[in-house]
Copies of this chain bind each other. A is one copy, B any other.
Amino acid sequence: MGKNSEQILSDHNVSITNPRILVLEALLENKGPITLDELQAILKNKVAKSTLYRVLNDLKKIDILDEFTSPENQTVIELVLEDRAHHHHLFCSDCGEIIDVELSNEFENFLDLEIKKIEEKFKFKISDHRVEMFGKCTDQCENCKS
């Protein structure tokens, strides 16, 4: 099984505190992206709202938290540990579900070539990229059943 939250914190030289542990545990348990609203609901009465924002910023600073915005303009966060493979996201506009997706190595190689071309054309140094896909899940999804 994966690292526990205290391990993660000490690995990154930040102090081990209860709110940080609670946030990390919630994110580890969820496995995958989660909206800020959902996380707040999970941690209600356990972590003060201001502290939650602070902890999330702390995790961003030590580079283990990815934050992005859903097509519905919801803030979405996701733990990115070293062992997580590079991946992308799939959004369902019906139920709001966000799914981690891995694309083939073949594809990623092709994209890397494209990126080299872009770097030359625009005199850029590109350090990262993200592919987002938008659509609807059909019927097998928990959320859509409701």
- Report which A residues bind B (CB closer than 8 A): 67-69, 73, 90, 92, 99, 101, 103-104, 107, 110-111, 114-115, 117-119, 122-140
With A69-B69, A114-B107 as given contacts, are A122 and B101 in contact (CB-CB < 8 Å)? yes
Question: Is A126 within 8 A of B134, CB to CB?
Answer: yes
| Chain A binding surface, main DSSP class | strand
Tell which of B99, B130, B134, B137 touches A128, judged by Cβ atoms closer than 8 Å.
B134
Given contacts A124-B138, A125-B138, contact A131 B130 (CB under 8 A): yes
**Bound complex: CA of A69 vs CA of B138, how far in Å?**
27
- 21 A/B residue pairs, CB under 8 Å, sorted by A: A67-B73, A69-B69, A90-B118, A101-B118, A101-B122, A104-B114, A107-B110, A107-B114, A110-B110, A115-B133, A119-B135, A123-B138, A124-B136, A124-B137, A125-B136, A126-B133, A126-B134, A126-B135, A127-B134, A127-B135, A132-B132
Is there contact, CB below 8 Å, between B114 and A103?
Answer: yes
Identity of the chain B residue whose Cβ is nearest the Cβ of A117 in the assembled complex? B104
Which residue of the partner chain B has the closest CB to A111?
A: B107
Contact check, A122 vs B90: say whether CB atoms are below 8 A apart. Answer: yes
Q: Which residues of B contact A103 (CB under 8 A)?
A: 114, 118
Q: Which of B92, B107, B122, B130 contacts A99 (CB 8 A)?
A: B122
